C-alpha cells in the first residue's frame, strides 16, 4: 500500500540524501542538490523537514536504524566474549562498507552539517538525544552485561566499560578507513587491542584468546550444505 504523499516525499528525500552521502560525501548534502536528485524544488526540504537540519537528523536516524539491524543480525552464542568480539567485527564491516555514511553519522562533517545531539554518556547513560542512536550503543552495553554475568570481567558499571570498547573500536576503524593498517590490521592491531582491553578489565589472557580463536574458527567453518527438499509422501532418491 502506498504511503501518503507527504510520507513518500520525506522518504524520497531521505533516500536521496543517503545516495548523495555514499556518492559524494557529507559535504554534498545541501537543499539544491537534494531537490535536484528527486526532481523537486528546494522548498520540498523546508516543507517536509523545516530545513536542512531536520533532514540531516532524519538521515542520521535512518542510518543508525540500518546500523542497528546490521549489528542485531550477529548471532549470539553461549560465549559472550566471542559475541562481543563479533559485534566489533560487524561494526568494522559496516564502516568499511559505508565510510561516507559513517562520517556523517558520527559527526565528521563540515560546520552545521551534524545535528547537536551529543549527550553526557557517563552522566546520562546514553551517548545522544536520539533513541535510534542509543539503541545501537545499547547492544554493546547489553553484551558487556552478559560478559560480566559470565564472570569473564569485573562487575562494574557496564556503560563506561562499553564506552571504552566503543572508543577503541571507533579509533581503529577511522584509521583503517584512511589506509593506516593495510591488509593485516585486524590480526596485528585490532584483535590484540581487544584482548589487551579484556584482560585489563579482568579476563584471563588464555580465556580472552580462546574466545578470539573460537570466533575465528566459526568464521572459517564452511556453511552447512542445504538439506534436499522432499515432497510430502515421497522419499528422496538415493
pLDDT in tens, 27-80: 888 888 888 888 888 888 888 888 888 888 899 999 999 999 999 999 999 999
Tell me if 65 is assigned to some domain: yes
Say if 225 falls within a structural domain: no
Helix, strand, coil shares of the chain, percent, nearest 5, are 65, 0, 30
| Statement: residue 17 has pLDDT above 50 | yes
pLDDT at 1: 42
The CATH number covering residue 102 comes to 1.10.357.10
pLDDT of residue 172: 96
Residue 20 to residue 32: CA distance in whole angstroms: 12
**Residues 188-230 pLDDT 10s:** 999 999 999 999 999 999 999 999 999 988 766 444 444 444 4
- List the domain range (segments joined by +) for residue 190: 59-218
- The whole-number pLDDT of residue 224 equals 42
Q: Predicted confidence band at 110 (pLDDT cuts at 50, 70, 90)?
A: low
Asked if residue 205 belongs to a domain, the reply is yes
- The neighbour count for residue 96, using CB atoms within 10 Å, is 12
Whether 73 is covered by a domain: the verdict is yes
Lowest pLDDT segment from 2-16, 119-133, 207-221: 2-16
Beta-carbon contacts of 179 under 8 Å, excluding residues fewer than 6 positions away, are none
pTM of the model: 0.83
Domain count, the chain: 1
Q: Retrieve residue 104's grid coordinates.
A: 556523517
Q: What is the 3-class SS of 103-127, one letter each residue? A: HHHHCCCCCCCCCCCECCHHHHCCC
4: in domain: no
For residue 105, tell me if it sits in a domain.
Answer: yes
Establish if 84 belongs to a structural domain: yes
For the chain, give the mean pLDDT: 86
CA distances 98 to 24, 45, 56, 80, 175, Å, are: 12, 24, 17, 27, 14
Q: Quick check: is 208 in a domain?
A: yes
Amino acid at each position: 500500500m502506498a504511503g501518503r504523499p507527504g510520507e513518500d516525499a520525506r522518504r524520497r528525500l531521505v533516500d536521496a540524501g543517503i545516495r548523495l552521502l555514499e556518492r559524494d560525501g557529507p559535504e554534498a548534502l545541501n537543499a539544491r542538490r537534494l531537490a535536484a536528485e528527486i526532481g523537486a524544488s528546494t522548498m520540498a526540504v523546508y516543507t517536509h523537514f523545516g530545513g536542512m537540519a531536520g533532514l540531516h537528523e532524519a538521515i542520521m536516524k535512518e542510518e543508525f536504524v540500518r546500523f542497528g539491524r546490521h549489528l542485531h543480525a550477529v548471532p549470539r552464542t553461549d560465549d559472550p566474549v566471542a559475541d562481543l568480539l563479533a559485534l566489533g567485527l560487524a561494526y568494522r564491516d559496516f564502516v568499511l562498507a559505508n565510510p561516507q555514511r559513517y562520517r556523517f553519522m558520527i559527526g565528521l562533517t563540515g560546520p552545521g552539517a551534524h545535528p547537536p545531539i551529543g549527550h553526557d554518556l557517563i552522566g546520562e547513560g546514553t551517548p545522544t538525544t536520539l533513541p535510534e542512536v542509543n539503541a545501537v550503543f545499547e547492544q554493546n552495553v547489553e553484551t558487556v552485561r552478559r560478559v560480566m554475568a559470565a564472570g569473564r570481567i569485573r562487575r562494574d558499571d557496564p556503560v563506561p566499560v562499553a564506552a571504552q570498547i566503543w572508543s577503541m573500536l571507533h579509533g581503529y576503524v577511522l584509521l583503517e578507513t584512511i589506509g593506516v593498517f593495510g591488509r593485516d590490521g585486524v590480526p596485528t592491531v585490532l584483535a590484540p587491542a581487544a584482548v589487551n582491553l579484556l584482560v585489563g578489565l579482568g579476563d584471563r589472557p588464555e580465556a580472552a584468546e580462546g574466545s578470539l580463536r573460537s570466533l575465528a574458527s566459526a568464521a572459517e567453518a564452511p556453511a552447512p550444505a542445504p538439506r534436499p527438499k522432499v515432497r510430502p509422501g515421497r522419499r528422496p532418491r538415493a
